[in-house]
Amino acid sequence: MKIFAIGMNYAMHNKELHGTLLKPDEPVIFLKADSSLLKDHKPFFIPDHLGRIEYETEMVVRICKLGKTVPVRFAPRYYDAVTVGIDFTARELQKRLSQKGQPWDLSKGFDGAACLGEWVPKEKFLDIQALHFHLDINGKTVQQGCTADMLYRVDEIISYISRFYTLKTGDILYTGTPAGVGPVHVDDHLEGYLEDRKVLEFNCK
């Protein structure tokens, strides 16, 4: 199983972090280690050696078919379900590595850094490119977004990734985060929603 993730896929988040509304020339792709996957309501143990850990709430897509060099028009055949996930990020470490021009995998792929909600068949929604999602922490909404605001749509991302990697059943795609990222703390209670469906719930330890 591969865990793909997309960076800089919402303009307002790019402004939040980089001070500009820029759209990358191509999708920004990175991978998370399979050991970073956190699901089934298991708690997220905040690593105390990585500095500030921030949540990035995202719509996540499940790959359901083997594919290579997939045309955009056929991409919908290659995923069957969606959910909400958290791309946990060691922000200070990411900035240090970026400033040195080094890969920032360590800040994104540590254990528990890919939190995953319960899958919902994509047929339950009229259009996955018009889905609202949000994250509540301790009962308060802290981040919200709509997939209509993605700079690169799901079908475009899948087609692009498949030029470099063979897609396999069970692979997971985190599609990018909107503005509103922030830190998590011990004893925080997180709940993620796709429209009005709660698909994600866990505690920080």
* Domain CATH number, residue 31: 3.90.850.10
Q: What is the pLDDT of residues 59-110, one digit of tens each?
A: 999 999 999 999 999 999 999 999 999 999 999 999 999 999 999 899 999 9
What amino acid is encoded at 99 in this protein? Q
Q: Is residue 146 part of a domain?
A: yes
pTM score, whole prediction:
0.95
Q: What are phi and psi of 13, to 5 degrees?
A: -70, -35
Residue whose entry in the numeric block shows the structure tokens 């800089």: 8
Number of domains comprising the chain: 1
- pLDDT for position 126: 94
Band the pLDDT of 24: cuts 50, 70, 90: confident
Q: What is the pLDDT of residues 130-182, one digit of tens each?
A: 999 999 999 999 999 999 999 999 999 999 999 999 999 999 999 999 999 99
Q: How far apart are CA 56 and CA 51, in angstroms?
A: 16
Contacts of range 102-105, beta carbons closer than 8 Å, 24 or more positions apart: 104/30, 105/30, 105/31
Q: Is residue 41 part of a domain?
A: no
Output the CA angle 37-137-148, nearest 5 degrees: 70
Range of the domain at 82: 3-36+46-204
pLDDT: is 119 or 15 the higher one? 119
